[in-house]
Structure 1
Amino acid sequence: MTQVELVTALKSLGMPIAYSEFKSTLENPAPPPPFITYQFTDDDDLRADNQNYVDIGNYNIELYTDKKDLAKETLVQDKLKELRLTYSKNEAKIESEDLYQVIYRIQLMGG
């Protein structure tokens, strides 16, 4: 699966999505929650003989909500399962923004 295919799949969830963050302007304000951001974090490429044999990219998919929203979390998790992507999950409350953040860490191989 490629990053483009991942983004297309996440867009099908019906929530705004952006790489890293939403750039808020007067003409185009950031969307209200719930929304999703995603970002490449690092790689775990398979390497040997001075070559990268298999590209393995690590990504964070971040779900932001204004309250604990199990339905939205289930929506994201079901999509990741449908795509056959394993994930680990962490959660945090961002007090300064009054938001909940659920981070799904995934790997994309070959894309």
Structure 2
Amino acid sequence: MTQAELFQALKSLGMPVAYGGFESTPENPPPPPFITYQFAYSGDLMADNQNYVDIGNFQVELYTTKKDPAREQIVQNKLKELRLPYSKVEAWLDDEKLRQVIYEIQLVGG
């Protein structure tokens, strides 16, 4: 799966989606819920002293005003449908008054 395909899949969930953040100011993102995603780090497979397979680790971040298990399940179902294993962490962002749920996924070859 490519990054562009990931973007289209996330858009199909019916929430605003942006890479890294929205073009609006940090103080004025779209109203929650919304999703951002970004490249976090590479975990390429190495062989013969070179990068053999590109593996990009990405973070898909769901932002809501409160704990929202139904929205989380929608994102998780999409990741499962795409056969993208994920790990999940969450935090309350006190300054923004938002709940952040981060799904870490890998895109192989994308």
Deviation for aligned residue 1:30: 2.6
Partner of 2:12: 12
Which amino acid counterpart does residue 104 of structure 2 have in structure 1? R
The normalised TM-score by structure 1 is 0.93
Deviates more, 1:92-101 or 1:16-25: 16-25
Contiguous gaps of at least 5 residues in structure 2: none
Partner of 2:65: 66
Contiguous gaps of at least 5 residues in structure 1: none
Identity value in percent: 69
Name segments (4+ residues, structure 1) moved above 3 Å.
none
Partner of 1:108: 107
For residues 29-59 of structure 1, the C-alpha deviation after alignment (integer angstroms, 9 at most, x for no partner) is 5310000000001111011223211110000
Partner of 1:82: 81
Q: Secondary structure at the match of 2:57?
A: strand
The RMSD of aligned alpha carbons is 1.0
**Aligned equivalents of 1:97 and 1:31: distance in 2?**
12
**Aligned equivalents of 2:74 and 2:97: distance in 1?**
22
